[in-house]
Structure formats: structure tokens, C-alpha cells
Amino acid sequence: MNSNAQSLRQLITEREARVGIIGLGYVGVPLALTFCESGFRVLGFDVDPAKAEQLNTGQSYIEHIDGGRIEDAVSQGRFEATTDTDRLAEPDVIIICVPTPLDSAREPDMSYVRKTAESIAGRLRQGQLVVLESTTYPGTCRELLQPILETSGLEAGSDFFIAYSPEREDPGNPEFGTRTIPKVVGGLDPVAGDLAEALYEKVVVEIVRVSSTDTAEATKLLENVFRAVNIALVNELKLVFEPMGIDIWEVLDAAATKPFGFMRFNPGPGWGGHCIPIDPFYLTWKARQHGLTPRFIELAGQVNIEMPRHVVDRVRQATGGGETLSDKRVLLLGIAYKPNVADPRESPAFEILELLEAGGATVDYHDPYFPAAPSMRTWKNLPEKQSVSLDAKTVSSYDAVVLVTDHSEVDYDLVLEHAKVVVDTRGVLPADHARVVRA
């Protein structure tokens, strides 16, 4: 371990290392707070001045993150947010938490990581550790991050260090947070891995050290491909069982009683969130570069992508079975990608909304977490909408209510009493109710 590594290791051990976090979103903010609460000083970077200003005044703009934690970190002098990338030379550790979406061809859009790496390279100094947490394909740290950072004239492994540690955030999960989720860590070289392990072991309960950045990158993809494939499986089984008159949720309830060899996944209106609809395509893209065709993963993607169309077909059937929806009014319950969080990323609700409106329906939504529908990168052309109130008169005015996201705050008894028909994509309403159609 050279002098640069030794000096950084000592700063980390004594909690004197300043941590820089780029990207103050659903991953970056809880990570920053966890470091602050573990005795580190954090400098957060974001391109949005409004976010930086709000955080610097001790306020949270993310529903499930307690503003009191931010206020404490700011008042104790442990947290500061900025948009000034010239300050990237200040931190001893730089952690990258920027988006890695797909482009229009469903291939990796690495522009955020690339631009971030270029910003760091212009300010990189000796003795810094750069950790990528954004989900990506195996080889990103070696093939993309390292060459860009080395345009600084510094050499990875001696002048500065690179590691990968995939984020494992689950927004709104009351059981597991940043501190209590085991952290996978892999270095571009053993010294970088040692430094990253020393850093994260100060703030999380368990470190899972792997041999390389490639292995760590692959670990994250495996976790989410596993989920994507199993979600596709139960979604396909739902389609298989429907014409047989078999309720997939009843089948799952029975199968889940087996104490071994079964792990439950629930069907739904599609896939959503910042990982599951995206990560499998990162792996299939990388596999094609090696002359491989991961058919199983691609098939799972195809099944999940088609689920919103199935929901719309069920709405057509439930409202009369016609080819057109031009005279129908439809209310969507929930536009978040999962229950009880203000997180709309890649939610199937937007695809369902777009398909319904393309079919001629008039569509509104109710979601207690979104008074106004957020603008979405994936669905840029949807009209502006506001959440409608949920009362007897409102519910009864629609030809169909579609339960897309099962928020616990929704009064489902009121919906069942006054809706003409409810298309339930989550299996939470009584299947034998006269006005419930499961989809």
C-alpha cells in the first residue's frame, strides 16, 4: 500500500475523510445521511439548485426520508449540498450515485456516468477514492470510468483508486435501510477494494467483499435479473390461469405455505422502479458484445413489457368488450411504482394511462403521494394531470376504476361500494365481489 493509500486509509479510519456524493436522489440522500450519522462530513453534489437549496435548509424533498435527519446533519456541520463541481477536489472520497437509464433502443444510457467522470477528471487529485454505486454492466469501471479519470494524468491504483459498490436501496422499506443492508464492495485492484471496504464498514452492518469491480457490477445485475425473471413467470402464469378460471393469487397463497423450495413473487400490471425494468437490459446488451443471446432474460423482459396492454384489454372487456374506449371514463388508483412511496420511476401506470388515452378513453388518476402527475423521462408527451379527490360522487362517475398501485391510504371500501367496476391488477380486493375484475 503506497503513501497515497496509507494516508487515505488513516483518514477513513479516523473518520476524518470528507465524503463527496454526486447525485442527491433516492440513493444519494440516504447514503449521505448514513455517513453523517456515522461521524463523517459529507459534501453533496447535484445539478438541481432547488434540491441543493432545500437540503441546505434542512428540508427533505423525498417523501420517505425524514427531514429531521437532514436538519440534524446540516445543523451539526456534517452536511452541505452544492451545484459547484469545482469543489470536487475537496472530498477524499467521491461516490457516484447518478441515473443509468435506458435509451430509446433499450440500450444503456451511460451519459450521466460519463459526464460525471469527466467532471471528476478535471479536478481529480492524488489520494482520492472514487466509488461508483450506479447500477451498470460488468466492466464499466475498467472500460469507462478508469480511462476517463486517467485523462487527468493520474494513474488508477497508485495516484487514485476506483471501486464499485452497488446501491441496494428499497424506498419506503421499514425493515431495511442503508445502514442495515449488507454492502457488496469490489475494487479495481486489491488496494482500492481494501480502501472501499474500510470506508463502508464504518457505516453499514456488513461488508461483502468480492474480488473485482466486474464481480460487484455483476452481483447487482444478478439480484435484479432474478427478480425480473420471477415477476415475469408469475405474470405469465396469471395469463395462463385466467382462461382456466383459476385465480393466480389463490394459487400463490396456497403455494406459499410450502416451507421449502418456494419463494413468492406477485404478479402485477407490469414492472416498475429504478432497477427491475432497466437492469436486465444492461446485461443483455453486454452479453451481445460477447456474441451471446440471453434468451431467458429477454423473454422475461418481453412478458413484463406487455402486461400494461393486458390490463387495458381487461378494461375493454370490463366496460363492454368493444374495440374502442372513446366513450369511456377511467380512473387509475395509484401512479407510484410501488405502494406507500412517492416514487413514480418507470411505473407501469404511465404506460397504462398512455394506452388508455390512445384508445380514446378519458383518464384521470388518484394518488395521495402525487397531487400533480410528475413529468417522466420515459413518457414525455402525456398531458398534465392532477390527482382527483376520492369520494362517492367521483368514483361513481367513471366507467371503470383500475387499481394500479395499492396504497394503504386509499379507502377501498368506498371504491367497492361506488365503482361500476374495479379492475384489480394487484389482487388485493375480494375476487368474488360482483364488481371486481382481476387483471
Q: With 70 as the cut, is the pLDDT of residue 162 above it?
A: yes
Residue 375: pLDDT band with limits 50, 70, 90: confident
Q: With 70 as the cut, is the pLDDT of residue 379 above it?
A: no
Per-residue model confidence (pLDDT) at position 378: 61
| Element (DSSP H or E) covering residue 209 | strand 207-209
Provide the number of structural domains found in the chain: 2
Same domain, 180 and 253: no
Residue 64: pLDDT band with limits 50, 70, 90: confident
The phi-psi region of residue 360 (left if phi > 0; otherwise alpha if psi is between -120 and 50; otherwise beta) is left
Same domain, 325 and 264: yes
Domain membership flag for residue 250: yes
Domain membership flag for residue 221: no
Residue-number span of the structural domain to which 384 is assigned: 231-438
Using alpha carbons, list the distances in angstroms from residue 74 to 27, 68, 220: 18, 10, 32
Residue 80, SS3? strand
Per-residue model confidence (pLDDT) at position 143: 98
Please choose, from the candidates 102, 18, 34, 85, the residue with its C-alpha nearest in 3D space to the C-alpha of residue 285.
102
% pLDDT > 70, the chain = 99
Same domain, 142 and 279: no
Residue 437, SS3? strand
Residue 43, SS3? strand
Residue found by looking up cell 441515473 in the block = 99
Per-residue model confidence (pLDDT) at position 391: 96
Please choose, from the candidates 89, 124, 132, 126, the residue with its C-alpha nearest in 3D space to the C-alpha of residue 2.
126
pLDDT digits (tens, 9 = 90+) for 18-57: 999 999 999 999 999 999 999 999 999 999 999 999 999 9
Same domain, 119 and 257: no
Same domain, 46 and 153: yes
Residue 67, SS3? helix
Domain membership flag for residue 222: no
Residue 380: pLDDT band with limits 50, 70, 90: low
Domain membership flag for residue 366: yes
The whole model's pTM is what?
0.92
Domain membership flag for residue 220: no
Write the CATH number for 297: 3.40.50.720
Q: Average pLDDT, whole number, for the chain? A: 95
Tell me how far apart the alpha carbons of residues 221 and 72 are, in angstroms, rounded to a whole number: 35
One-letter identity of residue 150: E
Per-residue model confidence (pLDDT) at position 374: 85
Do the beta carbons of residue 394 and residue 417 sit within 8 Å?
Answer: no
pLDDT digits (tens, 9 = 90+) for 209-229: 999 999 999 999 999 999 999
Same domain, 200 and 252: no
Same domain, 125 and 46: yes
Domain final residue, candidates 162, 183, 211: 211
Same domain, 116 and 66: yes
The residues assigned a catalytic role are: 275
Do the beta carbons of residue 408 and residue 340 sit within 8 Å?
Answer: yes
pLDDT digits (tens, 9 = 90+) for 249-270: 999 999 999 999 999 999 999 9
The 3-class secondary structure across 395-427, one letter per residue, is HHCCCEEEECCCCCCCCHHHHHHHCCCEEECCC
Same domain, 12 and 153: yes
Same domain, 251 and 191: no
Instruction: Tell me the H-state helices in 27-145.
Output: 28-37, 49-56, 67-75, 111-121, 140
